């Protein structure tokens, strides 16, 4: 299995507090990896380190042959790693499809001159992008809303739109921060289908961080568990479910029952 993202020996301290201690994380290509752990485990610091919002004290973050560990967020995104955060905010004044088209801005051919002159090449590129934007909205169940003001979407629809906008940039790997937070069961089912489509239809790798343990267990091919700034286990959902260190640190028997689909 080819590796898409490899973080090695990532450490970060704030004063005397070790937020991350020699953390290793691997996200293979076309794989959904879940990241779990109790509050204070270091998940947020790791996610921010991967996406360029925090500079780690030590370690490497390799996406292919490029080390992202010292790059700012915009350069990390251009390198192929895009992050969506918990609070989805549409771009003011734009339609739903307009928000997705913004994600394709850097891919537009011809530059400013072509845009101002409306050259045939630019118009063809614009049509292709619009067709692709409709396709993305269709994948996320939002195509019927394409021409509406994005500000009028429900919370769950905004979360899906944010992911569609991120996918429009064609990243190699997508980091999702609490994608299920605040969603009802129907919306979570829709989110599950959307994330699986990123792997199955778009060929992306996905790292999912979420407190909804049944959601993470149900969607992930592999799971990494953290506690006190360290990785304590890594494996398939069934392996993590049986891991004694994970159960004592994070998963109660009742939560594990829910992850298996049994009544708690």
Domain of 121: which CATH number? 3.40.50.300
Does the residue 96 lie in any domain? yes
Does the residue 214 lie in any domain? no
Same domain (yes/no): 171, 126 = yes
Same domain (yes/no): 166, 231 = no
Same domain (yes/no): 150, 203 = yes
Number of domains in the chain: 2
Same domain (yes/no): 1, 110 = no
Name the band, by pLDDT with cuts 50, 70 and 90, for residue 260. very low
Same domain (yes/no): 85, 111 = yes
Same domain (yes/no): 103, 203 = yes
pLDDT over threshold 60, residue 259: no
Helix%, strand%, coil% for the chain, nearest 5:
45, 25, 30
Name the band, by pLDDT with cuts 50, 70 and 90, for residue 64. confident
Range 148-173 average pLDDT: 89
Same domain (yes/no): 85, 205 = yes
Q: Which residues of 25-54 are buried (b: 16+ CB within 10 A; e: fewer)?
A: bbbbebbbbbbbbeeebbbbbbbbbbbbeb
Q: Which residue has the higher pLDDT, 249 or 99?
A: 99
Q: What integer pLDDT is reported at residue 93 of this predicted model?
A: 84
Count, residues in the chain? 264
Q: What integer pLDDT is reported at residue 255 of this predicted model?
A: 43
**100 close to 135: Cβ distance less than 8 angstroms:** no
Same domain (yes/no): 108, 140 = yes
Same domain (yes/no): 231, 192 = no
Does the residue 23 lie in any domain? yes
Same domain (yes/no): 87, 197 = yes
Choose one of 166, 183, 209: the last residue of a domain.
209
Tokens of 1: 């299995």
**Pairwise CA distance, residues 83 & 30, whole Å:** 17
Q: What integer pLDDT is reported at residue 115 of this predicted model?
A: 42
Does the residue 194 lie in any domain? yes
**105 close to 75: Cβ distance less than 8 angstroms:** no
Does the residue 216 lie in any domain? no
Using one digit for the tens of pLDDT, what is the confidence trace for 75-97?
A: 998 889 999 876 777 787 889 99
Same domain (yes/no): 49, 123 = no
- Domain holding 256, by residue range, is 1-27+36-71+222-264
Q: What integer pLDDT is reported at residue 258 of this predicted model?
A: 37
Same domain (yes/no): 161, 132 = yes
Does the residue 47 lie in any domain? yes
pLDDT over threshold 90, residue 43: yes
Using one digit for the tens of pLDDT, what is the confidence trace for 96-148?
A: 998 888 877 654 444 444 444 445 555 666 778 888 888 889 888 899 999 99
Q: What's the whole-model pTM score? A: 0.84
Does the residue 63 lie in any domain? yes
Does the residue 169 lie in any domain? yes
């Amino acid at each position: 299995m080819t590796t898409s993202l490899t973080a090695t020996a990532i450490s970060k301290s704030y004063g005397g507090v070790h937020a991350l201690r020699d953390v290793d994380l691997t996200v293979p290509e076309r794989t959904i990896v879940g990241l779990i752990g109790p509050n204070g485990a270091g998940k947020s610091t790791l996610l921010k380190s991967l996406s360029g919002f925090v500079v780690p004290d030590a370690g490497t973050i390799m996406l292919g042959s490029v080390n992202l560990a010292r790059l700012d967020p915009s350069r990390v995104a251009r390198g192929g790693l895009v992050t969506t955060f918990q609070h989805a905010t549409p771009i003011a004044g734009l339609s739903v499809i307009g928000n997705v088209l913004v994600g394709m801005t850097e891919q537009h051919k011809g530059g400013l001159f072509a845009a101002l002159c409306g050259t045939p090449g630019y118009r063809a590129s614009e049509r292709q992008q619009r067709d692709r934007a409709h396709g993305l909205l269709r994948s996320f169940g939002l195509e019927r809303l394409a021409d509406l003001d994005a500000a009028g979407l429900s919370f769950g629809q905004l979360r899906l739109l944010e992911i569609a906008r991120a996918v429009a940039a064609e990243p190699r790997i997508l980091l999702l921060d609490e994608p299920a937070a605040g969603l009802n069961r129907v919306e979570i089912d829709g989110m599950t289908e959307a994330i699986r489509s990123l792997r199955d239809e778009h060929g992306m790798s996905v790292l999912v961080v979420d407190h909804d343990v049944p959601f993470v267990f149900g969607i992930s091919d592999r799971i990494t568990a953290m506690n006190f700034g360290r990785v304590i286990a890594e494996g398939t959902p069934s392996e993590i479910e049986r891991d004694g260190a994970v159960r004592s640190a994070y998963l109660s028997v009742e939560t594990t029952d829910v992850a298996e689909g049994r009544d708690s």
